[in-house]
A and B are shown apart, each in its own frame.
Chain A
Amino acid sequence: MAINEKTGTKSNTNKTRILVFISVLVAQGMILSFIESMLPIPFIAPGAKLGLANIITLSAIYLLTFKQATAVVLLRVILTAATFGSLSSFLYSFSGGVLSLLVMAAVLKVFKGEISLIGVSVMGAVAHNLGQLFVAALIIRNILILTYLPILLIVAVPTGIFVGVVARILIKYLERININRSYR
């Protein structure tokens, strides 16, 4: 009885910790999306974005389980659209966010140890830009927009490096919480 109570309490604490951690990541992602939407757009290709929110996606994949990371991305996308966005901005960030989540999680799983966070992040940036461009092609119903694909691939390299470097610093700090040691 006492043991049951104890484990019950402990797992509730763990759940709460993870819940709080996910919430913090969602909040950070929302703020980064918001900041990005206020930045003047430096790229002249539609679909190209700095992808600041990818910093949070990458950290979530690295520190949490895939399910929890998916929750972080979906909550961030939905809440950002509900707070600052519109339907089309929701479609863009949904496709970009989910595609980069899937690609980064897959790359991290398959090439773990052979590739650093920066390489993972570059693949994430490629996926992010592709996702946005495909949705753009659907929204404006013009396949010719895919002629921007090559430029978006090239742009993804510097933005991916930037996101990877920042994520590495962020993860170093977040790891001190030890969320992935015993609570996973």
Chain B
Amino acid sequence: MKKNDIILMVIVLLIGSVAFFGMKVVQNANKSSSEVLIKHEGVVIKTIPFDETTDETFTFNDGEHYNLIVIKDGKAFVQEADCRDQICVKTNPIALNGEIIVCLPNKITVEVFSEEKQDGGLDSIAD
């Protein structure tokens, strides 16, 4: 192990951490009217608008594979899947814009999509 190895590792860790926290900041930005998009091979198969009170489940089933997706308490997660690695089930529940749960074996993604907040200013004038 040489000094240059340490420098290299610190650089890699630094880029990773900065990008990680930068991403969190962007995801935490003030957004409203969120919906959950469930996609199979990039094609949206289900859109579920959600907020804190939404309590819904959706089962993806193409005859070969299935994923049971649950939306509860303002968060979405995969409760059950028949994939080999179970990464989607282990992924933490998602709620913020741009967060994603991936099931590679079943080619399923669950992502949160929020639009920019547009009310507020205009509405208060109208009132």
Contact = CB atoms under 8 A, between A and B. Distances in A.
Interface of A: 41, 44-46, 88, 111, 114-116, 118-119, 122-123, 126, 136, 139-142, 144-145, 147-154, 156-157, 161
Interface size class of B (residues with CB under 8 A): 35 or more
A157 B5 contact: no
Given A140-B42, A140-B107, A142-B39, 10 more contacts: A41-B86, A46-B102, A114-B4, A119-B9, A123-B8, A144-B109, A147-B23, A153-B19, A154-B12, A154-B17
Contacts, number: 98
B20 A154 contact: yes
A140 B41 CA distance: 4
Contact of B5 (A119, A144, A147, A149): A119
A82 B55 CA distance: 45
B100 A147 contact: yes
B49 interface: no
Interface string B58-102: 000000000000000000000000000111001110000011101
B2 A115 contact: yes
30 contacts: A41-B86, A46-B102, A111-B4, A115-B2, A116-B1, A116-B2, A116-B5, A118-B1, A119-B4, A119-B9, A123-B8, A126-B12, A136-B104, A139-B104, A140-B104, A140-B107, A140-B108, A141-B39, A142-B39, A142-B100, A142-B109, A145-B100, A145-B109, A147-B98, A150-B18, A150-B19, A150-B23, A152-B16, A153-B13, A154-B12
